[in-house]
Amino acid sequence: MSKKTLTLMSKDKQLFNIEEHLAVQSVTIRNMVKEDGASSVIPLPRVDSETLALVIEYLNRQQAPEEDEDYVKKFVDERGEIPTLLELAQAALDLDIKKLMDAACMKVADLIKDFTLEEVREALRIENDRTPEEEKAIRDEFQWAF
The smaller minimum CB distance to another protein, of residues 38 and 51, is found at 51
Q: Which residues does 61 contact at the CB level (< 8 Å), separation at least 6?
A: 71, 75
> Do 84 and 123 form a contact (C-beta atoms < 8 A)?
no
Out of 89, 95, 97, 100, name the contact with another protein by CB under 8 A.
Answer: 89
Q: Does 127 bind another protein (CB under 8 A)?
A: yes
> Do 59 and 92 form a contact (C-beta atoms < 8 A)?
no
Out of 55, 120, 131, 133, name the contact with another protein by CB under 8 A.
Answer: 120
Least CB distance to another protein at residue 131 (A): 11
- In this structure, the number of other CB atoms found within 10 A of the CB of residue 118 comes to 9
Out of 35, 109, 131, 133, name the contact with another protein by CB under 8 A.
Answer: 109
Report the alpha-carbon distance of residue 142 to residue 88 in Å, rounded: 32
Least CB distance to another protein at residue 144 (A): 5
Which of left, alpha, beta for 18 (phi over 0: left; psi -120 to 50: alpha)? beta
Give the residues lining the site for another protein (CB under 8 A): 46, 86, 89-90, 93, 98, 101-102, 105-106, 108-109, 112-113, 117, 120-122, 124-130, 135, 138-139, 142, 144-146
